[in-house]
Amino acid sequence: MSEPPLKTSELSSEITHYSAFPALRLPRLIAVLGGTTTIEDCLIALRHLVDPRHLIQGPAIMAYEEAFAKRIGVRFGISFSCARVGLHGLLRTLGVGAGDDVLLQVPTHVSIPNAIRYAGARPLYVDCRLENYNIDLEQAAHRVTPRSKVLLLQHTFGIPVDLDAAREFAGRHSLEVIEDCVHALGSTYRGKPLGSHGRAAIFSTEETKTISTTMGGMVVTDDPEIAAQMRKFQQACPLPLRFLTAQYLLKLILYHVMTEPHFHPVPRMFYELLGRKRLLPEAITDAEAKGLRPQRYEQRLSNAQAALGLSQLKYLGENIRHRTSLAQTYGALLPGLGYRLPTPPANAQPLYVRFPICVADRDATIRAVRPKAIMGTWFSSVLEGAASTSLIGYERGSCPNAEMLASHLINLPTHPRVNRSDAEGIVAILAASRPVSAPPVTRTAK
């Protein structure tokens, strides 16, 4: 992080098009999600709602897949309703099934091991390294079995895995490498985009990610055989429901309005009430939280959502520059305050979808910052979203670093509606409430 943060004037000019209400002068409250959409995106959503002839099927899907693959630097992109469906199809394409093991790290989201389990395989959980929250390959060497077929590499928060070490490990154990890039659109390793380093990769465009189609996923690959099989799998998936697609579009518009910083303090209580009453479509079902396969698990992406993805890819460069600038601000101002900051591996250029820090008292820190911003809590469990980790095959105590982080991680916002002044204000609050001591360092289990 040697480059200085952008000047405030430069930062403001880059994010002007993200503000829906520039004339309002209400107190700013930064939402943890949202921030990637524009008025143009809302108009695209409204157009498809008013004229639904191309709501589900249409030309935007292929155009979006091609543009996404080009952005990653590979030849093929295949879209799905969410990343977990793409991962499930990818495992099947690679012949992973009953009797096979897949190595993956924790913390992660419950949808990832579920996709492995739904394919008939067994997830082998590996602890993370505390300096970057990515897989601990030393522990993985103790967990690998003769049945292991895949090394699934999660680039947590957009921090690249040490891919040189990971590829050497995979080669030594004859493992296929799949990159989990759900956090990592825009990150690079040795100057090459993440998603282009393994046999294939999955991306997410769910509403909390670098770009948002409310829900959505993409598989990318340079392998024509994998691409052909994934295309067959995609065509076998049912089309998305019209009602659900309309809900996704309405949710995008609602979030765009409600998460505007000058407006967010007003509807925050209403926003939380909608979540409690489950009046908005959710990222996972109750069945998935319990490890059960839901109905209509395999679905395609709608044309309307693809049109939204295309729109946001146009601004991805600005999005990346903005998030990079804010990460540099956090990285420059936070050292010395008693919080544990991430340390990316050599040759890694992270694009932080959120900037993670480890705090001694997470609840107290969240309360302290709440007047300024709503903090993120990825990951509050080793398997985020799981009703019970034991239902998903996780053995308590097997990954102590991840279990410690589940009580101590908070995530600072980097999205385009956060400006330099917001970031400085958040850091000022963190400085005033600095911890008595840093969270304990635990030893990784073998």
pTM beyond 0.85: the answer is yes
Centre a 10 Å sphere on the Cβ of residue 84 and count the other Cβ atoms it contains. Answer: 27
Mean of the per-residue pLDDT values for the chain?
90
Q: Tokens at residue 414, please?
A: 């980097």
Q: CA 300, 306, 312 angle in degrees (round to 5)? A: 140
Lowest model confidence (mean pLDDT) among 171-180, 260-269, 375-384: 260-269
pLDDT category, 22, cuts 50, 70, 90?
A: very low
Q: What is the pLDDT of residue 15?
A: 36
pLDDT above 60 (res 131): yes
Single-letter code of the amino acid located at 339: Y
> To the nearest whole percent, how much of the chain has pLDDT over 70?
88
Q: What is the pLDDT of residue 272?
A: 62
Summarize the confidence of residues 252-256 as an average pLDDT: 91
Concatenating the DSSP letter of every residue in 322-351 gives: HHHHHHHHHHHHSTTSSPBPP-PPTTEE--
CA dihedral 207, 82, 163, 228 (to 10 degrees): -140
Round to whole Å and give the CA distance between 184 and 195: 8
Query: For residues 89 and 118, is the Cβ–Cβ distance under 8 A?
Result: no
Q: What is the pLDDT of residues 83-94, one digit of tens each?
A: 999 999 999 999
pLDDT category, 40, cuts 50, 70, 90?
A: very high
Closest among 135, 129, 130 to 170, alpha carbons compared = 135
Query: For residues 86 and 298, is the Cβ–Cβ distance under 8 A?
Result: no
> To the nearest whole percent, how much of the chain has pLDDT over 90?
81
Q: Tokens at residue 4, please?
A: 């200085």
Identify which has the larger pLDDT, 336 or 95: 95
Q: What is the pLDDT of residue 338?
A: 86
Query: For residues 362 and 409, is the Cβ–Cβ distance under 8 A?
Result: yes
Closest among 105, 113, 168 to 132, alpha carbons compared = 105
pLDDT above 80 (res 377): yes
pLDDT category, 381, cuts 50, 70, 90?
A: very high
Closest among 342, 344, 416 to 378, alpha carbons compared = 342
pLDDT category, 190, cuts 50, 70, 90?
A: very high
pLDDT above 60 (res 26): yes
Cis peptide before 107 (omega within 30 of 0): yes
Identify which has the larger pLDDT, 337 or 309: 309
pLDDT category, 259, cuts 50, 70, 90?
A: confident
Q: What is the pLDDT of residue 167?
A: 97
pLDDT above 50 (res 7): no
pLDDT category, 27, cuts 50, 70, 90?
A: confident
Q: What is the pLDDT of residue 11?
A: 32
Residue 217 bridge partners (DSSP): 80, 204
Q: What is the pLDDT of residue 35?
A: 83
Lowest model confidence (mean pLDDT) among 130-139, 388-397, 427-436: 427-436
Summarize the confidence of residues 143-162 as an average pLDDT: 98
pLDDT above 60 (res 206): yes
pLDDT above 70 (res 274): no
pLDDT above 50 (res 184): yes
Strand ranges (E), 121-199 = 122-126, 148-154, 176-180, 188-189, 192-193
pLDDT category, 281, cuts 50, 70, 90?
A: confident
